[in-house]
A and B are shown apart, each in its own frame.
Chain A
Amino acid sequence: GPKVLQIPSHQIIDMGQMVTLNCDPVSNHLYFYWYKQILGQQMEFLVNFYNGKVMEKSKLFKDQFSVERPDGSYFTLKIQPTALEDSAVYFCASSLGVSNSDYTFGSGTRLLVI
């Protein structure tokens, strides 16, 4: 079936540096999401994005986080500056609509901040 691609699959970065996580959503999907999963725990919602705007964000979506999808290219999550507690797996997902639409998840980007 259609896939969500995440690039890179792994990233190691020094604390305080900037990192950009890239997501290529399913081509006809309109809603995009980022979730954060700390090792061994549940996935937690960060943000959703539609029509060029953030629709909702959680408390985990700190001021250092930002998202964009310039010109229909990658949907990106940028963290600037990174902190040790940002180490986690970040999952991108997309859906055609909301509520009754199924998600497609990417395989995740494993971010390690050292």
Chain B
Amino acid sequence: AQKVTQTQTSISVMEKTTVTMDCVYETQDSSYFLFWYKQTASGEIVFLIRQDSYKKENATVGHYSLNFQKPKSSIGLIITATQIEDSAVYFCAMRVNYNQGKLIFGQGTKLSIKP
């Protein structure tokens, strides 16, 4: 069975600080892809960053980076120098290599950035 779990329901941090959001996944497959998406207040879903399971280096895009710990089936999202506009719900998702592109989402973590 495949599953993605985000246990943090909500996080609140001060602007310009660093925040980490947790995500663990379950899959029997050796090849898979992990994604983080952001859902804004308007409902728009924005792709942020992705980690391919065969890559050892943690992905980094702008002020987003990943903490990929494969032995722990964990893919944390780190946001540095947070800004007010980073306030959103963040979803972790997984796609396995064979499954026709289906994404399995976690429950989401609501991030609030305080000025």
Bound-state Cα–Cα, A56 to B102, Å: 8
Given A91-B45, A99-B95, A102-B47: A45 and B33 within 8 A (CB)? no
Chain A CB count within 10 A is highest, among B45, B47, B108, for B45
Interface size, A (range): 20 to 34
Does the CB pair B108–A42 fall under 8 Å? yes
Q: How many residues of B contact A (CB 8 A)?
A: 25
**Those of A35-82 within 8 Å (CB) of chain B:** 35, 41-45, 48, 50, 55-56
Bound-state Cα–Cα, A103 to B103, Å: 9
Given A107-B42, A107-B43: A98 and B106 within 8 A (CB)? no
User: In this assembly, does B28 line the interface, its C-beta being within 8 Å of a C-beta of chain A?
Assistant: no
Shortest CB distance B108–A (Å): 6
Q: Is the interface of A mostly helix, strand, loop or mixed?
A: strand
23 chain-A/chain-B pairs, Cβ below 8 angstroms? A31-B101, A35-B103, A41-B107, A42-B105, A42-B106, A43-B103, A44-B105, A45-B102, A45-B103, A50-B100, A55-B100, A56-B100, A89-B43, A98-B95, A99-B95, A103-B47, A103-B103, A105-B37, A105-B45, A105-B47, A107-B44, A108-B43, A110-B43
Q: A98-B101, A105-B37 are in contact. List 12 more A-B contacts (CB 8 A).
A: A41-B108, A42-B107, A43-B91, A43-B103, A56-B99, A56-B100, A95-B101, A97-B101, A103-B103, A105-B47, A108-B45, A110-B43
